[in-house]
């Protein structure tokens, strides 16, 4: 039983990072319909920004994290402004956009690997790395911060979408771009805003995992893959759905180890995903995936 | 037909160029040798040592006038623990640089390049990988003992001297990790111990908590780490973080700078191969590279020196011509080389034997408790 609790707690910690990545990606995908795999690069960039701000500029950790989140938001906006918007203006189809995004992901990862080497870089986390015991479960303070960040991030994003003017504009574009345009919403500006918010909400995930086990150039690919799976599982267009999908995947990966050898970790998660999506293609809460959306 | 003719023409041309290049290379051009090392990835810290050791040796050789008057040039290639990268590097060294000799490291990459070495008659010398399957291969020499020697020593020391008999194991899922784990299971069993459970992890992973939690639940009085590189420090830290309090143990593979700095590794039971951190070599290394030298720095210094001696002998015998075959024959005829870690005698299986030390990690150092002498 202790093992079950420990694995569930570890799953929850990993899951909170998946949640942050998935709701950011899901927000962008649900609003713009861009299959933005370069989101993985933004996730990774956030970690390098935090590392650079702490180690190269010598900023205190909290400030470095804030700087990194802002820089990640700007990076997301720049990707939309400099890559996706010009492509869309020239009438590029979604597949072209996806391939451009994939190219950008590879490019950024490799450039980071050349500048910083592919080796993991350690950040100074001070007492955040200390162990905390909760009954039979052992975690670090950083893990508790991760769970709290995911919870706050999720609530803040939902409140933003529901109550703020800009959030309502995003929702309007997400549910019907044509209708939003006719009531005078500038789609391009809403897209830019979506990239800023979606990138900012994912940035802490990249930074937190970097603080835990080191900054690495190639981690974003796995995370964006998991995020897209979580979003499809949760239902496209649903933020709580994306969060639930992400948490489900993480718990599955970790609890699966309970009775099955651990090298099966990701095989289990993706196997269950395939079965799930065949049985219930609209996911937990979402609208049905239209062939035109992918 | 035209295609066949033109390719024949190209082949003749290439062959012609090669014969032209041959004699030119023998006239005072630098002698180029390769070194395929983990310069990036989880084992990059070994790479710093290995490259530094080889570099220092090459500089010393060139300072005293080179090998038979020719300058020695080492070409470094990165395999990042990946066998296919090692194969590409080896092919480049053989076809483009035309080296007669290359240093190599790690078990899977070395096993992958050995057929190329044998086919092109290029000697490869491994100073790092310890898989048992590295022994007795054509054109492959290991100036390090294969793993069964060292794992045998640690298994017996843990079971008999430390009275730790119920082990759980965390194993890097590659040739070296699995081989070492299997050997440990066998030798530990023979010494009266028992392996209760084993979890395999990817070498490039950074989160081992699920596996460690499982091993913790299994009980046992010893966590044996059959992994290497930066993994070890992360495993040790995450194990302590999960409240695993039993002793951890590992062979010289675990002794990388990250481990020495890790809080979790305090008290780790280890075996190591002889290396004196106060030697003049270690001091010179520290001055030059601003980091402490390790055992593997000496290994690649030695490998380069062994090559220099063998190459000189080979050129003397073959009228100044240096070939891989000549180097191989020279190594076989000299057999016994003086190195910084004492006399090294190549065994009939192309491997080396060394003394092994056992001890405990304390305050970033290994406090040696027992020295197990190499069987002559």
* Closest to B79 in 3D by CA, of B117, B43, B33, B48: B43
Does any CB of chain A come closer than 8 Å to the CB of residue B178? Answer: no
Fold entry, domain B147-272+356-372: Rossmann fold (3.40.50)
Does any CB of chain B come closer than 8 Å to the CB of residue A258? Answer: yes
- Mutation to test the B interface, candidates A6, A15, A220, most B Cβ within 10 Å: A6
Question: For position B341, what pLDDT does the model report?
Answer: 81
Q: Which residue on chain A is closest to B44 by alpha carbon?
A: A119
Does any CB of chain A come closer than 8 Å to the CB of residue B261? Answer: no
Question: For position A265, what pLDDT does the model report?
Answer: 75
CATH no. of B30-145+278-345: 3.40.50.2300
Note whether B209 contacts A10, CB cutoff 8 Å: yes
Q: Which of B200, B207, B213 sits opposite A3 (nearest CB)?
A: B213
DSSP at B344:
E
Does any CB of chain B come closer than 8 Å to the CB of residue A251? Answer: no
Does any CB of chain B come closer than 8 Å to the CB of residue A124? Answer: no
Note whether A10 contacts B243, CB cutoff 8 Å: no
Question: For position B22, what pLDDT does the model report?
Answer: 40
Does any CB of chain B come closer than 8 Å to the CB of residue A213? Answer: yes
User: With contacts defined as CB-CB under 8 Å, which chain A residues touch B202?
Assistant: 263
Q: What is the pLDDT of residues A172-194, one digit of tens each?
A: 999 888 899 999 999 999 999 99
pLDDT at A286 over 80: no
In chain B, residues 195-224 whose CB comes closer than 8 Å to chain A:
199-202, 206-207, 209-211, 213-214, 216-217
Using an 8 Å Cβ cutoff, are A144 and A132 in contact? Answer: yes
Question: For position B257, what pLDDT does the model report?
Answer: 85
Please report how the helices A219-234 and A39-51 are oriented relative to each other, as an axis angle in degrees rounded to 10.
130
Question: For position B25, what pLDDT does the model report?
Answer: 39
Does any CB of chain B come closer than 8 Å to the CB of residue A119? Answer: yes
Q: What is the ipTM of this complex?
A: 0.78
Residue A48's domain comprises 2-293
Rounded average pLDDT over A76-91: 95
Does any CB of chain A come closer than 8 Å to the CB of residue B239? Answer: no
Question: For position B17, what pLDDT does the model report?
Answer: 46
Strand pairing category for A131-134 and A137-140: antiparallel
Name the average pLDDT for chain A: 91
Name B43's Cβ contacts closer than 8 Å, sequence gap at least 6.
B80, B81, B106, B228, B229, B230, B256
Q: Which domain CATH number covers A71?
A: 1.10.3470
Does any CB of chain B come closer than 8 Å to the CB of residue A264? Answer: no
Note whether B241 contacts A14, CB cutoff 8 Å: no
Q: How far is A103 from chain B (nearest CA, A)?
A: 23
Does any CB of chain B come closer than 8 Å to the CB of residue A214? Answer: yes
Structure tokens at A4: 């079950």
Q: What is the pLDDT of residues A132-160, one digit of tens each?
A: 888 889 999 999 999 999 999 999 999 99
pLDDT band at A287 (very low <50, low <70, confident <90, very high): low
* Closest to B273 in 3D by CA, of B174, B179, B368, B159: B368
The residue extents of the domains of chain B are 30-145+278-345, 147-272+356-372
Q: String of b and e for A260-293 (b: at least 16 CB within 10 Å)?
A: eebeebeebbbebbeebeeeeeebbbbeeeeeee
Separation between Cα atoms, residue B61 and residue A36, nearest integer Å: 55
Count of domains for chain A: 1
Does any CB of chain B come closer than 8 Å to the CB of residue A21? Answer: no
Share of chain A above pLDDT 90, in %: 68
Q: Which residue on chain A is closest to B47 by alpha carbon?
A: A119
pLDDT band at A201 (very low <50, low <70, confident <90, very high): very high
Q: Which of A6, A118, A253 sits opposite B213 (nearest CB)?
A: A6
Question: For position B254, what pLDDT does the model report?
Answer: 92
Name B337's Cβ contacts closer than 8 Å, sequence gap at least 6.
B302, B305, B306, B309, B343, B344, B345, B346
**Contact pairs from chain A to chain B, CB under 8 Å:** 63
Q: Which residue on chain A is closest to B41 by alpha carbon?
A: A119
Q: Which of A118, A120, A262 sits opposite B206 (nearest CB)?
A: A120
Question: For position B26, what pLDDT does the model report?
Answer: 41
Question: For position B6, what pLDDT does the model report?
Answer: 53
Question: For position B314, what pLDDT does the model report?
Answer: 95
Q: What is the pLDDT along chain B (376 residues), one digit of tens a residue?
A: 454 545 544 544 444 444 444 433 344 689 999 999 999 877 888 999 999 999 999 999 999 999 999 999 999 999 988 999 999 999 999 999 999 999 999 999 999 999 999 999 999 999 998 888 899 999 999 999 887 788 999 999 999 999 999 999 999 998 889 989 999 999 999 999 999 999 999 887 888 998 999 999 999 999 999 998 888 999 999 999 999 999 999 998 898 888 998 889 999 999 998 888 888 999 999 999 988 888 899 999 999 999 999 999 999 999 999 999 999 999 999 999 988 888 888 988 898 888 889 999 998 889 999 998 876 5
Q: Which residue on chain A is closest to B170 by alpha carbon?
A: A262
Structure tokens at A66: 């804030």
């Amino acid at each position: 039983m202790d093992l079950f609790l420990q694995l569930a707690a570890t799953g929850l910690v990993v899951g909170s990072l998946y949640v942050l990545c998935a709701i950011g990606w899901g927000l962008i995908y649900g609003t713009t319909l861009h299959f933005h795999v370069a989101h993985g690069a933004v996730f990774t960039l956030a970690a390098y920004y935090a590392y650079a701000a702490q180690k190269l500029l010598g900023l205190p950790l909290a400030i470095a994290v804030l700087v990194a989140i802002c820089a990640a938001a700007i990076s997301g906006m720049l990707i939309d402004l400099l890559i996706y918007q010009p492509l869309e203006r020239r009438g590029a189809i979604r597949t072209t956009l996806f391939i451009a995004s994939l190219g950008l992901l590879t490019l950024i990862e490799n450039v980071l690997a050349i500048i910083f080497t592919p080796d993991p870089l350690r950040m100074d986390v001070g007492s955040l790395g200390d162990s905390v015991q909760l009954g039979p479960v052992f975690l670090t303070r950083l893990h508790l911060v991760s769970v709290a960040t995911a919870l706050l991030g999720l609530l803040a994003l939902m409140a933003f979408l529901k109550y703020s003017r800009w959030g309502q504009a995003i929702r309007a574009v997400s549910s019907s771009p044509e209708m939003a345009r006719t009531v005078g919403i500038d789609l391009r500006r809403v897209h830019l805003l979506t990239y800023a918010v979606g990138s900012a909400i994912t940035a802490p995930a990249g930074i937190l995992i970097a603080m835990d086990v080191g900054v690495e150039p190639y981690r974003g690919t796995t995370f964006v893959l998991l995020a897209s799976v979580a979003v499809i599982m949760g239902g496209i267009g649903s933020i709580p759905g994306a969060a639930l999908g992400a948490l489900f995947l993480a718990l599955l990966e970790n609890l699966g180890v309970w009775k099955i050898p651990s090298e099966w970790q990701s095989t289990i998660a993706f196997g269950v995903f395939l079965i799930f999506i065949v049985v219930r293609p609209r996911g937990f809460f979402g609208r049905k995936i239209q062939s035109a959306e992918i | 037909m035209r295609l066949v003719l033109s390719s024949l023409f190209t082949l003749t041309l290439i062959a012609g160029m090669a014969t032209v290049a041959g004699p030119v290379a023998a006239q005072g051009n630098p002698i180029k040798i390769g070194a395929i090392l983990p310069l990036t990835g989880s084992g990059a810290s070994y790479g710093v040592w290995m490259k530094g050791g080889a570099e220092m040796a090459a500089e010393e050789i060139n300072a005293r006038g080179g090998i038979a008057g020719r300058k020695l040039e080492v070409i470094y290639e990165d395999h990042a623990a990946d066998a296919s990268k090692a194969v590409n590097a080896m092919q480049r060294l053989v076809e483009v640089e035309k080296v007669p000799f290359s240093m190599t490291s790690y078990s899977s990459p070395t096993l992958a390049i050995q057929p190329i070495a044998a086919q092109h008659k290029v000697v490869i010398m491994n100073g790092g990988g310890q898989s048992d399957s590295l022994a007795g291969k054509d054109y492959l020499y290991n100036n390090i003992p294969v793993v069964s020697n060292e794992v045998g020593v640690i298994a017996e020391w843990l079971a008999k001297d430390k009275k730790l008999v119920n082990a759980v194991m965390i194993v890097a899922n590659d040739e070296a990790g699995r081989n070492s784990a299997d050997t440990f299971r066998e030798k530990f069993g023979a010494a009266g111990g028992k392996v209760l459970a084993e979890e395999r992890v990817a070498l490039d992973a950074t989160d081992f908590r699920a596996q460690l939690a499982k091993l913790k639940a299994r009980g046992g009085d010893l966590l044996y780490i059959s992994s290497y590189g930066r993994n070890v420090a992360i495993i040790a830290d995450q194990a302590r973080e999960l409240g695993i309090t039993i002793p951890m143990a590992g062979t010289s593979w675990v002794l990388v700078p990250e481990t020495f700095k890790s809080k979790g590794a305090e008290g780790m039971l280890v075996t190591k191969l002889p290396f004196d951190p106060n030697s003049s070599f270690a001091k010179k290394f520290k001055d030059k590279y601003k980091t402490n030298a390790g055992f593997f720095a000496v290994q690649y210094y030695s490998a380069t020196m062994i090559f220099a001696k063998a190459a000189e002998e080979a050129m003397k015998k073959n009228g100044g011509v240096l070939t891989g075959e000549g180097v191989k024959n020279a190594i076989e005829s000299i057999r016994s080389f003086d190195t910084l870690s004492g006399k090294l005698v190549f065994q009939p299986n192309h491997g080396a034997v060394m003394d092994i030390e056992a001890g405990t990690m304390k305050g970033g150092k290994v406090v040696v408790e027992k020295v197990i002498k190499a069987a002559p």
